[in-house]
Amino acid sequence: MTLTKRRTPATFPVLWRRARRTLLAAGAVFALAVGVLTGTAASSQAAAQQPCDIYAAGGTPCVAAHSTVRALYASYSGNLYQVRRSSDSTTKDIGVLSAGGRANAAAQDSFCANTTCVITTVYDQSGHGNDMKYQGPGGIGGSDTAATATTESLMVGGSKAYSLYIKPGNSYWRDGHTTGVPTGSAPQGVYMVTSGTHVNSGCCFDYGNSETDRRADGAGAMDAIYFGTSCWFGGCSGSGPWVQADLEYGLYSGGSQSWNSNQRAFSNKYVTAMEKNNGTSRFALKGANAQSGSLTTLWDGSLPPGYSPMKKQGAIILGSGGDCCNGNTNLSQGTFYEGAIVAGYPSDATDNAVQANITAAGYGSSTSTGNTVTVTNPGAQSGTVGTAISGVQVQASDSAAGQTLTYTASGLPAGLSISSSGQITGTPTTAGTYAVTVTATDSTGASGTAAFTWTVTGGSSTGGTTTGGTTTGGTTTGGTTTGGTTTGGSTGGTGNGTCHVAYTKTSEWPGGFTADVTVSNTGTTTVNGWNVGFSFPGDQNVTNGWNATVTQSGKAVTAKNMDYNATIAPGASTSFGFQGTYTSSDASPTAFTLNGTTCG
């Protein structure tokens, strides 16, 4: 096994940061009492306190702090994570828009335009150098990969951000070369913000303390939060997902292998999960809706038999069990927005204050308490394959004077790009109808969007076949040819005047696979509630899905919207995905319907 060496920070800066937090602790406690605990924590771009400030004020400082969404210290102005694009394998660090603020999603959008990116590293904000990288080969076999960087975007307090959207085969790890992470029976707390809509029962979507050798080293070798629908010991109530503790050799809902009657499911879009363990006799589990409300205590009592004292090893895991991964590949899925490991056993008051900060952050909210950015919709656009466009300048305004706006775009026709000043130029290379979204972001992180369609016709299409005639609209599968003229859909899916569906296999292994499906509304009226239908040409079977309710009857598959993504505006799109198995054939479907209407 090849281990990645730790980047050791300079001794003086680390000691200074620790001393500074200690000196500020007394003043911070007062602010905690009169501010956060009463629900008046600032939700502005540069908050007065962030979660790790709150933990420090409570005497349990963060020793590892990770997020792709925001800074977890009010003073943090460094990098959150690193992306690598597939076109040239170069990497870019994605930071925050301002100290204590949100992620600079526009930097990722610009860097990853017209190619795919993966998240290779999630940086530690605590100053301990406990960065996490994607795992690669496991300790007892397997080879986990990096997660796609653009699978899920979200709004947090009016700013765009991206999650770490983990699918089977993705996971992240920090080996035993950590600094400050509790070991043995030392007390520890851990929290994360995750999602109740992208889960499964695969082992194991964990975040927290893990083995340094990635092997199952016995009871108490791990101390991590598990979130998912797995129920190891039976007797579970409902279908989950649940907040449990992965302590190695078991996922515990309480203090024994009997199901804890105080457990409850958290199916919210955004979920707060907490676990704390004093290392010798007591641990607690808590959960909450990360958008509103208070924490629910699921367990606060004795450790399971055989786990006193704990034997933590001090590595950090995200997205898989510590022994990664039973000889083959990790089968868990989940979403990670933010989280931290703290030294010590946090008080209930500290837990409550962190939850108040999380709800004030505005997960899922497109409303900013700061500036308002308005993008003027340029209207439907058109072009011809092989003919350069004259240039389209997107205009936007900001409610605050003196702001500089940075523009990004998604869904542009192949061959076109947008400059940071909003100028779209280039020469279209592939015919089709494209759902384009332009985003303008100011220096505070406030942003606005405009969505429109761009139709490209004529010319030759990549992968199209023409015999004695002209191909219009891209690649045609099973299309009809009349008089030498073929009219078809777009590469990677099917489309007509009202809808376009793209099906992509995102991973595949012997006997299993995952796939993403993107549904675009290319019509002129809003879709309110959707059902996407298709049939497998092979012997595939869907085992679970995310961002939709996916069911199967024979070869026929139906995907129904969730409450939060039921509406698709003209020119907009939404995506869902699923995991499946197969025996002999994993051929991709080629025909789709949207609410009974054929797409293509």
Q: CA-CA distance, 352 to 397, in Å (whole number)? A: 39
Whether residue 197 has pLDDT greater than 90? yes
- pLDDT given for residue 451 in this prediction: 83
- Residues with Cβ within 8 Å of 456's Cβ and at least 6 positions away in sequence, in order, are 382, 383, 384, 385, 413, 428, 430, 431, 432, 433, 434
Q: Which of 10, 289, 319 is nearest to 134 (CA)?
A: 319
Q: Given CA atoms 481, 485, 491, 494 in this order, what sign does their dihedral have?
A: negative
- pLDDT given for residue 323 in this prediction: 65
Whether residue 21 has pLDDT greater than 80? no
Query: Per residue in 24-59, pLDDT tens?
Result: 333 333 334 333 333 333 333 344 689 999 999 999
- CB burial class (10 A; 0-12, 13-18, 19+) of residue 401? exposed
Look-up: residue for tokens 């298709």? 534
By 3-state DSSP, what share of the chain in percent is helix, strand and coil, each rounded to 5? 10, 40, 50
Catalytic residues: 248, 323
Q: CA-CA distance, 199 to 578, in Å (whole number)? A: 10
Whether residue 349 has pLDDT greater than 90? yes
- pLDDT given for residue 169 in this prediction: 87
C-alpha R_g of the chain? 25
Whether residue 436 has pLDDT greater than 80? yes
Q: CA-CA distance, 208 to 221, in Å (whole number)? A: 11
Q: CA-CA distance, 428 to 410, in Å (whole number)? A: 15
Token couple for 257:
């292998």
Confidence of residue 368 (pLDDT cuts 50, 70, 90): low
Region at 463 (left for phi over 0; alpha for psi -120 to 50; beta for the rest): left
**Amino acid in position 92:** K
Confidence of residue 136 (pLDDT cuts 50, 70, 90): low
- Cβ atoms of 345 and 187 closer than 8 Å: yes
Confidence of residue 459 (pLDDT cuts 50, 70, 90): low
- Cβ atoms of 499 and 523 closer than 8 Å: yes
Report field, pTM of the whole predicted structure over 0.85: no
Q: CA-CA distance, 112 to 92, in Å (whole number)? A: 10
Query: Per residue in 380-431, pLDDT tens?
Result: 899 998 899 988 999 998 877 777 888 988 888 988 999 989 999 999 988 8
Average pLDDT score over residue span 297-325: 90
All domains in the chain, ordered by first residue: 11-275+282-359 (2.60.120.200), 373-462+470-476+486-491 (2.60.40.10), 494-599 (2.60.40.290)
